[in-house]
Amino acid sequence: FFNTLVLIASSLTMALGVHSAALGRSKRVVAWLLATVALGSVFLGVKYFEYGEKIAPCFGVGAGPGCLVPGEHFDASVLHVAADMAPQTQIFYSLYFAMTGLHALHMIIGIPIILWIAHAAWKGRYSPAWHTPVEIVGLYWHFVDIIWIFLFPLLYLMGRH
């Protein structure tokens, strides 16, 4: 839930950056885009620790529960599911890692692009007449955030009633 709030806040800071670009306020564009990068980095940091709890036991590292990476070392017993549910649980974790990993990859790609746009804004390359790159990167970031809005309930809330 915390990460969802962080991404919603990053959408707000991105929107404020785009708005500042439309008004020709370069310093504010830079500040809002750097805030977006900071929030995106917080999200990735939380995801790093979340993944670590699931992956580290697979390599005998950490004090967490058993390995939750699908494969021969997968340990469904730590999830308190019936033995006959282990295959379905592995499928869930396969989808979990694929979808959240792809989402994280798009954030990792987006952050340097936002930094590049912020650098260009700092150099005064955008104006109210032309700030299309800021808008396009903003659309990209919003799309990545919206994907999370679907992933969060699908992967974290479903089945928790």
Q: pLDDT by residue (tens digit) across 57-82?
A: 888 776 566 889 998 888 888 888 87
DSSP assigned state of 24: T
pTM across the whole model: 0.91
Closest alpha carbon to 43 in 7, 15, 9: 7
Answer for the pair 3, 144: CB distance below 8 angstroms, yes or no: no
The residue count of the chain comes to 161
| pLDDT for residue 161 is more than 60 | no
- Pull the structure tokens for residue 11: 């959408």
153 to 82, 123, 140: CA distances (angstroms):
23, 41, 21
- Do 3 and 47 form a contact (C-beta atoms < 8 A)? yes
For residue 159, name the pLDDT band (cuts at 50, 70, 90). low
